[in-house]
Amino acid sequence: MVFPYYYEEVYDGLIFIETKPLELRKPSFLILGLPDAGLVGAISTSHMVRVLEMEEYGGIESYRYFPPVAVIHKGKPHPPIRFFYRDNIAALVPEIAIPPSAIYPLALAIIDYAQKRGIDYIISISGAPVPNRMNLEKPRLYWLASNDRVAKLVEGMKIEEFKEGLLVGPYAIIFKEAVKRRVNNLLFLAETYMEFPDPEAAAIVLETISKLIGVEIDVKKLLEEAEVIKIKTRELMKSTTQSLAKMGKGYEYQMPLLYA
């Protein structure tokens, strides 16, 4: 009898599952879509998985930190955080809001997982909430790099570096840990709403990532279906907003006291 591939590893109460071997070309990228302000990351990675027809190969489960839910797709259960891949790209796509108690262990586990799998670059997609988002025709995009090697990826892209401010949430922990461990982490922050899904901001991030990784990611359908996406993701946005409030999200544009 031939048994299907299955692998799992536990990181501090988080179970990383693989149902297929992860084989990525070099240079390899892990793109993170953890939900935060505007669901910019979640919407970006979900759209990318669809248009690139990426293949699901596993995910993250936790009976300690995550709510007792089962994600059912085509009659089968899937982890509440799912992994997809194609060519040299892996993507983390969430189906649930991340509970505040899971922030630290999840961030550290993602770094560990990327290192063990030989990922060359971790790309984080986040939203930076601004009070005047409704008046912006096109949200601005910022970048933050864990080292000089990563910073070279965005040279010539005419994107502003995020130089002063506060990061809040899982991406803050991932970035700090990446600097400490010398892991290549590139963080994109798009101006967005605090409490409303923002497909337009997600499209701007995807256009930049498309240039960075050299793979065309068509955002036309994302923009055409923006209103539908906002409706489909409103419950995830609601639960995410509650989690963000407990984390103190919304201070990205607050100057650190030392430099204020």
Instruction: Determine the pLDDT at residue 260.
Output: 41
Residue 78 has pLDDT above 50, yes or no: yes
What whole-number distance in Å separates Cα of residue 51 and Cα of residue 29? 17
pLDDT in tens, 174-195: 999 999 999 999 999 999 988 8
pLDDT digits (tens, 9 = 90+) for 87-118: 999 999 999 999 999 999 999 999 999 999 99
Q: What is the pLDDT of residues 143-164, one digit of tens each?
A: 999 999 999 999 989 899 998 8
Are residues 198 and 233 in contact, defined by beta-carbon separation less than 8 angstroms?
no
Whole-number percent of the chain with pLDDT over 90: 66
Q: Which amino acid is at 149?
A: R
CATH superfamily label, 26-74+87-247: PAC-like subunit (3.40.50.10900)
Q: Which residue, 184, 202, 206, is CA-closest to 192?
A: 202
- Supply the pLDDT for residue 247: 64
Please name every residue paired with 122 in a beta bridge, in sequence order, or none if there are none. 30, 185
User: What are 194-228's pLDDT values in tens digits?
Assistant: 888 899 999 999 999 999 999 999 999 999 988 88
pLDDT above 80 (res 251): no
Is the pLDDT at 34 greater than 70? The verdict is: yes
Split at pLDDT 50, 70, 90, the class of 259 is very low
Size (the chain), residues: 260
Domain chopping of the chain, boundaries: 26-74+87-247
